Amino acid sequence: MTTHAPVRVLLVDDHDMVRRGLATFLAVFDDLDLVGEARTGAEALRLCAAVQPDVVLMDLMMPDLDGPSATQEIRRRWPRTQVIALTSFPEPELLQRVLQAGAISYLLKNVSADALHAAIVAAHAGRSTLAPEAAQALIQLTAQPAAPGADLTRREREVLALMVEGLSNTAIADRLTVSPSTIKSHVSSILTKLGAASRAEAVALAVRYHLTD
């Protein structure tokens, strides 16, 4: 008879009571082994390096390094470690971010012990689990057209704000202490992302959709 080693689980949540409750859930199951608890994303990375968990239960809203960012780093460094996102509310933007970062599953914190156990075992086997509310949020997110400028980077928004002020590429480069060629590249990217044919049209879109507020 072949016996399988317990699935090694790491808990990551900045709320002590939540971690305590989850730890109580996990203790019920003999095929799960709680190997560590972290209060922050940075601590989660340190523990992953030390204990090499099979599955990480990841909170999304944390002060120093949020769940999506920690998930992305864990998946980059330890691709065999699966991450299950756990949150109180199925916010579409957070859902999209953490799934893009590499989380295999997304559950709400009101999940039952049996459902959490099943999701952990499934994640370890490479199978996804989505809370019904999360699946609905994802459907709504993909059904809505992205607003103009939604994919602009922070630097591109800074450049666009200076364009709205009427600054030239050279003046923007001086203001941001970069080369004019760098600004030219940013402006080109901004026009492409906004679908604007000219600098003036990009400025008009920025004002209309409050892209630099």
Question: Residue 1 pLDDT > 60, yes or no?
Answer: no
Is 65 inside any structural domain?
Answer: yes
Question: Domain range holding 17?
Answer: 7-143
Domain count, the chain: 2
> Rounded to an integer, what distance in angstroms lies between the CA atom of residue 24 and that of residue 34?
10
What percent of the residues of the chain are helix, what percent strand, and what percent coil, each to the nearest 5?
Answer: 55, 15, 35
Give yes or no: residues 176 and 123 share one domain.
no
Give yes or no: residues 136 and 44 share one domain.
yes
The encoded tokens of residue 75 equal: 């998946």
Give yes or no: residues 75 and 29 share one domain.
yes
- Residue 32: pLDDT band (50, 70, 90) is very high
Give yes or no: residues 65 and 164 share one domain.
no
Q: What pLDDT is recorded for position 133? A: 80
For the entire predicted model, the pTM comes to 0.66
Is 148 inside any structural domain?
Answer: no
Which CATH number covers residue 125? 3.40.50.2300
123-127 LR contacts (CB < 8 Å, sep 24+): 123/55, 123/82, 123/83, 123/84, 124/7, 124/54, 124/55, 124/82, 126/82
Give yes or no: residues 24 and 91 share one domain.
yes
* Per-residue model confidence as pLDDT tens digits over 94-126: 888 888 899 999 999 889 999 999 999 999 999
Give yes or no: residues 44 and 71 share one domain.
yes
Mean pLDDT, the chain, as a whole number? 90
Alpha carbon separation from 194 to 14, 45, 85, 149, 208 (Å, rounded): 38, 37, 32, 6, 12
Give yes or no: residues 93 and 185 share one domain.
no
Indicate the DSSP class of residue 87.
E
Is 149 inside any structural domain?
Answer: no
- Residue 83: pLDDT band (50, 70, 90) is very high
Rounded mean pLDDT of 80-88? 94
Place of tokens 């699966």: 82
Give yes or no: residues 68 and 28 share one domain.
yes
Q: What pLDDT is recorded for position 144? A: 58
Is 2 inside any structural domain?
Answer: no
Which CATH number covers residue 174? 1.10.10.10
CB atoms within 10 A of CB 74: 26
